[in-house]
Structure formats: structure tokens, C-alpha cells
Amino acid sequence: MAMYESEHTKFMREWMEKNPQERVEQKQGRALWWDKPQVVEERQRLKEASVPVKPYYYDVNH
């Protein structure tokens, strides 16, 4: 049974095969924007400092 593959997926697969240098740039971009080191103490401090949000922001009676 054949699995569905979108046109975009096919295009990206072919493009990455033709441009293997893009894998390196892709990893660098991910490291720049997403793969950040996490500091447990900092996350805990931010969590403790957060203020609960009202269920309906514009309701002046609550």
C-alpha cells in the first residue's frame, strides 16, 4: 500500500538531495533559533514570578 506524499514533501526531498549543503545551514538555523541551553533555576524563577491570567481579560468585574 502506497503512502500519500504531498507535492511539497516531494519537492523538499528532491531539493535537499540536489543541495546537500543546505543540511548544514538548516542545523545552524535550528541551533540559532530553537536549540537553546536551558537553565532550570531561571525557568523556576520565571514560573514563580508569573501572574495568573483572568479567564476573560476585558471583564472588569473580576
d(CA 41, CA 47): 10
pLDDT at 32: 87
d(CA 53, CA 41): 23
d(CA 27, CA 24): 5
Q: Which residue has the cell 514533501?
A: 9
pLDDT at 62: 62
Q: Give per-10-residue mean pLDDT for the chain (62 aa).
A: 88 94 92 86 93 80 68
Q: Which residue has the cell 532550570?
A: 40
First and final CA of the chain: distance in angstroms? Answer: 57
